[in-house]
Chain A
């Protein structure tokens, strides 16, 4: 791994060296390194690009890192990763993609992550997207996440895209069985002419299942963001989605929530708020001695924390 790739790895996974536990590092379209454990197996797909991550039932307190690094300008790839998480397992999965593009061609990483989470299993899934490099070539990522939660399963998904991705179209689909529960926290900041679209679709099929989708975003400069969320309550269930955006400069943000209750005991709520930084927040921090620019930075950092 070269210095650029190491720096990308640091940005997306907070890693200086190879991680502990199971991991699969993909660099410029090829396998860089892999480690499996007694409970976690990683197998290369034979029919297409991607891997299967198989976690045995009852695996506790283990983690899997699967970072993807792109440092070759113009590289475009489409990857399929499938996660099979056994019943009663309790694991952390850290994915992420970093693109360094100093060339003129568009670098693009598209991926479909499909999760099959077993009965009463618990998964924390963290995904970070980051782009850098001073080339004129675009940095594009289109992640798709498909989640199947079996009875009593719980998944927490944290996605972050703070810097450097020119265009992203994020699709997340989830289907929940009885007693399953899903938490999604999304953080996005766009600059310049960037475009980010997120599209959530959650089917609450099981009895007493629940989903909470929270998106916080900041749109600066001339960037554009679109937020779509569809929650279908098909049983006695609870669904909540929230889109909270700070808009700055000449940016544009649109939020389109859709709730459908197909059951008398489906309880669905959506909240959306888009607006600039409140003047009184800036004034308060200025009375504490910050300049207006410092106050703005503190407010945004806190908002996206």
Chain B
């Protein structure tokens, strides 16, 4: 279980203080939690704070009862936090097999890498020895990023907008990966997303807007409000009511 207590994050911009996150309190106990909300609302910042990439100005992060606020990225990774970047990083010279091996924390056989890659819909023989660089498409990089999280198999997996930067076609097949992950993977999955299909399979939806938690609840509780705030028309409201 992950608990965020009074998390605030303030940056200085042009001499004035800007609050990116304001006193965020959140408990994540469910299996599959989606975080959504407008761009610039603080979602990615929150994910980076959980992974240890950003240090909050104040507040505490509790993982399974242990305060991990002071732990660095590596220590948190070892405690079981995994983080899939919104923009996958390129590595000159490191291959898919190398990265999956690093993620799994052991030398992997081609068969083992193949197993993991097939989870994200990639045919291993085409990818195992490919360098993780710009020769791969955005969709391929996203899948490899997700494969690393699967290879780690930790108790908390964070995904920052897996749909960002890929075409709808690729996303449609990616969504199946998440549906499968929800059904098969133990531990907690936290996914930042704007996609209705992702929100639909979430046990809990957290809406973050303007640096604070706007609402928390199940799909039926949150979705109408979410679309309502953005000015849903009658047709849309009816459609939501039918869901």
Contacts and interface: CB of A to CB of B under 8 A. Distances in A.
Contact of A288 (B53, B72, B95, B103): B103
A278 interface: yes
Q: Is the interface of B mostly helix, strand, loop or mixed?
A: mixed
A282 to B, nearest CB: 9
Given A298-B102, A302-B98, A287 B73 contact: yes
Interface stretch (B35-43, B83-91, B198-206, B231-239): B83-91
Contacts of B53: 283, 287
Interface string A285-305: 111111110000011011111
Interface stretch (B74-82, B184-192, B211-219): B74-82
A17 interface: no
B73 to A, nearest CB: 4
B93 interface: yes
A16 B11 CA distance: 59
Given A286-B73, A286-B77, A290-B74, A305 B102 contact: no
B94 interface: yes
B51 interface: yes
Contacts of B83: 287
Contacts of B94: 298-299, 302
Given A289-B103, A302-B94, 16 more contacts: A244-B92, A278-B89, A280-B85, A281-B89, A284-B89, A286-B72, A286-B74, A287-B81, A287-B83, A288-B82, A288-B103, A288-B148, A288-B152, A289-B102, A298-B98, A298-B102
Nearest to B81: A287
A303 B77 contact: no
A289 B91 contact: no
Contact of A289 (B74, B85, B89, B95): B74
Which are the 6 A-B pairs with shortest beta-carbon distances?
A302-B93, A302-B94, A286-B73, A289-B77, A284-B89, A303-B93
B93 A289 contact: no
Contact of A303 (B51, B72, B92, B103): B92
Interface in B88-137: 89, 91-95, 98-99, 102-103, 105
Given A298-B102, A302-B98, A287 B77 contact: yes
A277 to B, nearest CB: 10
A284 B82 CA distance: 10
Contacts of A285: 102
Q: Is the interface of A mostly helix, strand, loop or mixed?
A: helix
Interface size class of A (residues with CB under 8 A): 20 to 34
Nearest to B76: A287
A61 B74 CA distance: 48
Q: Which of A286, A290, A304 has the most CB of B within 10 A?
A: A286
A216 B92 CA distance: 10
A124 to B, nearest CB: 20
A303 B90 CA distance: 12
Interface residues of B, number: 24
A281 B105 CA distance: 17
A248 B91 CA distance: 17
Nearest to A303: B93
Nearest to A291: B74
Contacts of B85: 280, 284
Interface in A266-287: 278, 280-281, 283-287
A286 B71 CA distance: 12
B152 A299 contact: no
5 contacts: A244-B92, A287-B53, A288-B77, A288-B102, A289-B103
A303 B93 CA distance: 5
Given A283-B53, A286-B74, A288-B152, A302 B82 contact: no
Q: Which of B92, B95, B103, B148 has the most CB of A within 10 A?
A: B92
Contacts of B105: 289
Contacts of A286: 72-74, 77
Nearest to B72: A286
A248 to B, nearest CB: 15
A302 B91 contact: yes
A305 B77 contact: no
A227 B14 CA distance: 41
Contacts of A288: 77, 82, 99, 102-103, 148, 152
B92 A290 contact: no
Contacts of A280: 85, 89
A288 to B, nearest CB: 5
Contacts of B82: 287-288
B144 to A, nearest CB: 11
A298 B132 CA distance: 13
A287 B91 contact: no
Interface in B24-57: 51, 53
A219 to B, nearest CB: 16
Nearest to B148: A288
